[in-house]
Amino acid sequence: MPEIASTLRVLPPSPWTARPGARTAWRCEPAPVEVRAFHATLPDYAPTPLTELPALAAELEVGRVFVKDESARLGLPAFKALGASWAVHRILAERAAGARPGPVTLVTATDGNHGRAVARVARLLGQRAHVFVPRGVHPRAVSAITAERAKVTEVPGPYDEAVRLAAEAAREADAVLVQDTAWPGYERIPGWIVEGYSTLCAEIDEQLAAAGAVAGPGLVAVPVGVGSLAQAVVTHYRSRPRAQAPALLAVEPQAAACVLESLTRDAPVSITTGETSMAGLNCGTPSSIAWPHLRNGLDAAVAVSDADAARAAARLAGLGVSSGPCGAAGLAGSRAALIGPGSGPRRTALGIGPSSVVVLLSTEGADANPHPAHATAG
């Protein structure tokens, strides 16, 4: 839409970094194929929609735009249940093989969606859950976790502090930490969570092929917190032949751009985060197992404002896609990269032209992360 584009172009460029050669210089092993088969056995499993939005293609000056709509994944309003279900499945299978019967307490920290997913899986499987919630998470999101019969501990500090307290609580007998970020010494379970997200990418392959986009995407924009979903996306697309490698764009809040800062410094760093409506992305430290994939496999990273995310969420809502500010970050970041200030060099860095196919990962629905209406039009 011309009015939107002109409004964006009078703003300063969004923080950005590009990594030349990511599409051609690095490859990794694919995710296990049995993950998708496991998810297909779950009662509520169905592929989430991949919705084509021609209006966004015109706005972003590309050939086609598809939005992967995660607003109703396994009965929850976000993609996180994919990782939580696979990880808990692996944890309980391992405990059964080790002759450790009886219920277990699944402990985690969350900005909202992951904790609710762990709590839901625990309830369905007859296990207990204890969820640590940092400041800034909307009370309705906290209530949704409590409704899953989980014990909730609200933490007055940021996400990283909630993770630390959850790790301490998980040292109790018959407790297991199910955290979707990793650090040295705690990497196996976060790795299972990342594997769980691979189902989302496998669905996209099938859905693009069904829509006639058999060559796959030219760009995938993924919202990033600690980087676990981005790790899954990098794993999926960087384990393929080079001819099929799309550009991968990480999108973060300006108040919590730990991955962009780490890429800029070429080393993982922790940052002090601020307040943001993108609560699920308000993370200050990249996951240790994600970092090598992000460093080597991402083409670029961009940070967007809360207002950018709110406008993007309103735009998606107007086009029939329910998306919270975290989910809409992919559109906000794509706008900044493809039509915002300095977009010419950015499009070149991403290899994007007028016939390119763009996939936006809308990781949550509007109900997942209640937020004030910063904008009423996209």
Position 102 scores a pLDDT of 74
The pTM for the full model equals 0.93
Work out the widest C-alpha separation in the chain, in whole angstroms: 64
CA distance 260 to 252: 8
Position 14 scores a pLDDT of 87
Question: Active-site residue among 44, 68, 69, 111?
Answer: 111
Question: Active-site residue among 80, 160, 306, 308?
Answer: 80
The DSSP H or E segment spanning 220 is strand 219-223
CA distance 299 to 302: 11
68 as an active site residue: the answer is: no
Position 2 scores a pLDDT of 27
C-alpha 128: how far from chain center? 25
367 as an active site residue: the answer is: no
Please, what are the averages of pLDDT over each run of 10 residues along the chain (378 residues)? Answer: 30 83 91 96 96 98 98 96 98 87 91 94 97 93 96 96 98 96 97 98 98 96 97 96 88 97 96 94 96 98 97 98 97 96 95 97 89 46
Asked if residue 331 lies in contact with residue 360, where contact means CB atoms within 8 angstroms, the answer is yes
Taking the alpha carbons at both ends of the chain, their separation in whole angstroms is 9
Based on its alpha-carbon atoms, the radius of gyration of the chain, rounded to whole angstroms, reads 19
CA distance 251 to 90: 30
